[in-house]
Amino acid sequence: MSKISEKKPAPPAAPADLPPDPAALAAILVQTAEKLQPMMSEFMQKVDWDIGNQPLDPLNMRQAWTQFFEYLAQHPERVAEMQIQYMKDWVNLWQESAKKFLGHPSQELYQPDQHDRRFKSEAWQNSALFDFIKQSYLMTSRWMQKAVHDTQGLDEETRRKLEFYTRQFVDAMSPSNFLITNPDVIKATLDSKGENLVRGFQNMIEDLERGKGHLKISTTDYGAFQLGKNIATTPGKVVYQNDLIQLLQYQPATETVYKRPLLIVPPWINKYYILDLRPDNSFIKWLTGQGHTVFVVSWVNPDERLTRKTFADYMDEGILDALKHIEKATGVPDCNVIGYCIGGTLLATTLAWLAAQGQDRRIASATFLTTLIDFTHAGDIKVFIDDEQLHQLDEEMKEHGVFSARKLKNTFSLLRANDMIWTFVVNNYLMGKEPFPFDLLYWNDDSTNMPAEMHSFYLRNMYRDNKLAHPGAITIKGTPIDVRKIKTPAYFLSTREDHIAPWKATYAATQLLSGPVTFTLSASGHVAGVINPPTTNKYGHWTAAGHPADPDRWLAAATQHDGSWWVHWAEWIKQYAGEKVPARKPQNPIEDAPGSYVMKKAE
- Active-site residues: which are they? 341
Q: How far is residue 196 from each of residues 40, 185, 202, 205, 421, measured CA to CA in Å?
A: 16, 9, 10, 14, 19
Which helix or strand (DSSP H or E) is residue 494 part of? strand 490-495
CA separation for the pair 176, 111 (Å, rounded): 15
Bridge partners (DSSP) of residue 294 are: 262
What burial letters (b/e) apply to 514-551, b meaning 16+ CB within 10 Å?
eeebbbbbbbbbbbebbbbbeeeebbbbbbbeebeeeb
Alpha helices in 105-216 (DSSP H): 123-126, 128-149, 156-172, 183-192, 195-210
Bridge partners (DSSP) of residue 335 are: 363
Bridge partners (DSSP) of residue 236 are: 250
Long-range contact set of residues 175-181: C-beta below 8 Å, sequence gap at least 24: 175/130, 175/133, 175/134, 175/137, 176/118, 176/119, 176/422, 176/426, 177/422, 177/425, 177/426, 177/430, 179/29, 179/430, 181/130, 181/133
Q: Say which amino acid occupies 574.
A: K
| SS3 call for 377 | coil
- Beta strands 262-265 and 450-451 are unpaired
What burial letters (b/e) apply to 273-298, b meaning 16+ CB within 10 Å?
bbbbbeeebbbbbbbbebbbbbbbbb
Q: Say which amino acid occupies 102.
A: L
8 Å CB contact between 349 and 315: yes
8 Å CB contact between 308 and 453: yes
Q: How far is residue 88 from each of residues 83, 129, 147, 298, 462, measured CA to CA in Å?
A: 9, 20, 15, 58, 46
Q: How far is residue 107 from each of residues 100, 119, 312, 326, 376, measured CA to CA in Å?
A: 9, 17, 60, 65, 42
What burial letters (b/e) apply to 341-366, b meaning 16+ CB within 10 Å?
bbbbbbbbbbbbbbbbeeebebbbbb
CA separation for the pair 88, 336 (Å, rounded): 61
Q: Say which amino acid occupies 388.
A: E
CA separation for the pair 505, 288 (Å, rounded): 31
Question: How many other β-carbons are positioned within 10 Å of the β-carbon of residue 238?
Answer: 22
CA separation for the pair 165, 68 (Å, rounded): 13
CA separation for the pair 5, 365 (Å, rounded): 88
Q: Say which amino acid occupies 162.
A: L
